[in-house]
Chain A
Amino acid sequence: MVVAVAVIRVRDLFAATMLFAIYSLLSAALFTVLDAGDVALTEAAVGAGISTILVLAVLTLARRHERPASGHNLLALAVVLVTGAGLVYASLDLPEFGNPDNPIHGHVGSYYTENTYEDMGIPNMVAAVLASYRSIDTLGEAFVIFTAALAVFALLSVRPPSRRSRARDGEEAP
């Protein structure tokens, strides 16, 4: 929470990137405490590692300091407040944490817990759900990632124009 506020306040984008990495690492630690090893591993590798590196790579292309915003955006403040109030109101209806009668335990989850080992013969339920029970979802994810690579390739594989025409296009000089 403190780190999240600091990320918003800091104007130095380099420091903000590092704070984001710390935030991801703390989330990974939280997931580990909650016994979600797969999610913790992903959060540590992607959130704290790869995304930080990619943001740093972008920072070498852009300027280091954020341009201070002028004035206040009242409409944005109103939207954020209304959404936040709605979410807090909705959270009052959430079932109690850890209660065995929660709807999440009555759905297909119990089928997976009981039958994964019988169906697959493997102990890691997350892998079984991802790759076998829900493998069309995972196929979609793989295609999303591949599409992302295609998009980045389409945007960045062209040699940039010279500095003069870049300034004309309004791109930021390094």
Chain B
Amino acid sequence: MRENGILSIVARFVIPLILLFGLYIQFHGEYSPGGGFQAGVVFAAGWILFVLIYGLDAALRVIPERVMYVLSALGVLLYSLVGLAGVALGGHFLDFYPLLSDPHAAQQAGIVLVEFGVGVTVATVVMLVFTLFARRRSWWDEVDAEAEEEGQ
């Protein structure tokens, strides 16, 4: 699909918009519909569009697979650590009030951090699952090509 000029030009306009919209519903989630889960999925959808048009190798050069593994674990860790921070500062697990002195600011900081953790995990997990499925096919082709070479 890489030779299709219309697709790659349109994608060049659309992909940044999708990624930006993903970030918007990530960080605007407490004022409008949205949140970490939807943001992660939208962000990953933009990335998958990039893969479909420019190929998996180009996409993995931007965000390597190893980085995705680390980030997917870090998102969950961030969530848990925010929860534990509440305990450390003298509250319950996932209690946001002790984080900051102003209760509203504390709640909002907690929600933003937690949603960011969810968003990072969801985005990288969807990207990883897609990468694994997409690479499976190219692996099959490689293995088949090797088998044919051996057979000749």
Please report A residues at the B interface, Cβ cutoff 8 Å.
37-38, 40-42, 45-46, 49-50, 53-54, 57-58, 60-61, 119-124, 126-128, 130-132, 135-136, 138-139, 141-143, 145-146, 148-149, 152-153, 156-157, 159-164, 174
Interchain nearest-CB distance for A6 vs B (Å): 25
In the bound complex, do residue A124 and residue B30 qualify as a contact, i.e. CB atoms below 8 Å apart?
yes
A50 touches B33 (CB 8 A): no
Which residue in A49, A127, A149, A161 is a CB contact (below 8 Å) of B35? A127
Which residues of B31-75 are within 8 A (CB) of A?
A: 31-38, 41-42, 44-45, 48, 69, 72-73, 75
A111→B136 CA distance, assembly (Å) = 50
Q: Which chain A positions have C-beta within 8 A of B118?
A: 138, 141-142
Least CB distance from B80 to A in Å reads: 7
Instruction: Given A50-B45, A57-B133, verify A127-B140 contact (CB < 8 Å).
Output: no
Q: Chain A interface mostly helix, strand, loop or mixed?
A: helix
Interface residues on B, range: 35 or more
Among B35, B93, B129, B147, contact of A131 (Cβ-Cβ < 8 Å): B35
Query: Contact mask B95-125 → A, CB, 8 Å, 1/0?
Result: 0100000011101101100110110011011
Complex Cα spacing A121 to B130, Å: 38
Closest to A35 in B: B33
Q: How far is the CA of A127 from the CA of B114 in the complex (A)?
A: 11
- Within the assembled complex, what's the spacing in Å between the Cα atoms of A131 and B80? 12
B35 touches A38 (CB 8 A): yes
Shortest B28–chain A CB gap in Å is 9
Residues of A within 8 A of B114 (CB): 131, 135, 138
